Amino acid sequence: MKKVAVMIAVAGLLAVPAFAKLDLNTPGRTAQEKDRDTYNKPEELYAFWGIKAGDTVVDFAPGEGYNTYLLSQLVGPKGKVYAIGSYGFDKLEERLKASPLANVQHMKSEGLATLPERSVDVVVTIRNFHDIPEEKLEKVLGDMKKALKPGGVFGVVDARTKEGRDKDQHRIADAVIKTETTKAGFRLAAASEMLANKSDDYKDPNWEKRYTLDQSCFKFVR
């Protein structure tokens, strides 16, 4: 009986993903991005989603490339990152020209629908789910699902509000994310409180809260 208990305990330990150490001081990263690392927790977050070397990853709505540069490093030369639908497309394009990433392909939002079917291991969107227009959400999630391999992961982080969508503060409730994503055919595999902060009163826009931002964190599976 004791031996069985030990085996179960060991199996449980082995099931916990170890996060890959990233070089957060790698060339090309900005001081502002390094400042964000403490509350974005990229190593733990990517481990939660199971991202590893050799994966093909979609960084959806990548902004100016905070996650793009780290994901490029994590998946390595045998992996691929599609940075798609940036709200700062020209800025990210200029950055990639100044600090090229051989395994990154930068695409406008319509590029999502052109990805080969079942070719992607992980899709992530970080503090941008709330910005997907409601009238386009079904298509966007459908395109993501089509691109993902069976068992592929859709990772979502966003700024919390109590209920519904707070468009002025750029926040969204957990229930809305879960409802819309499962409606699109994804299964909720796990949720994490690693980015939670209950001192956030939800009164300010998400970009002003910084270290006190309360964030949801979900792992959906195709």
Do residues 212 and 195 lie in contact, with contact meaning Cβ atoms separated by under 8 Å? no
User: Can you name the residues that pair with 58 across neighbouring β-strands?
Assistant: 82, 123
Q: How far is Cα 93 from Cα 111, in angstroms, rounded to an integer?
A: 15
Residues in the chain, total: 222
Low-confidence winner among 5-14, 85-94, 172-181 (lowest mean pLDDT): 5-14
Domains of the chain: 20-221 (3.40.50.150)
- Return the residue matching tokens 């595999």: 189
Do residues 80 and 57 lie in contact, with contact meaning Cβ atoms separated by under 8 Å? yes
Q: Which two tokens stand for residue 62?
A: 């990548």
* pLDDT value of residue 184: 97
Do residues 112 and 141 lie in contact, with contact meaning Cβ atoms separated by under 8 Å? no
Question: How confident is the model over 44-55, as pLDDT tens digits?
Answer: 999 999 999 999
Question: How confident is the model over 11-38, as pLDDT tens digits?
Answer: 333 344 566 789 999 888 889 999 999 8
Statement: residue 200 has pLDDT above 90: yes
- Please count the CA atoms within 13 angstroms of the CA of 19 that sit on its side-chain side: 14
The pTM assigned to this predicted structure is: 0.89
Question: How confident is the model over 123-136, as pLDDT tens digits?
Answer: 999 999 999 999 99
Q: How far is Cα 200 from Cα 215, in angstroms, rounded to an integer?
A: 9
3-state secondary structure of 181: helix
* pLDDT value of residue 19: 63
Split at pLDDT 50, 70, 90, the class of 221 is very high
Do residues 113 and 84 lie in contact, with contact meaning Cβ atoms separated by under 8 Å? no
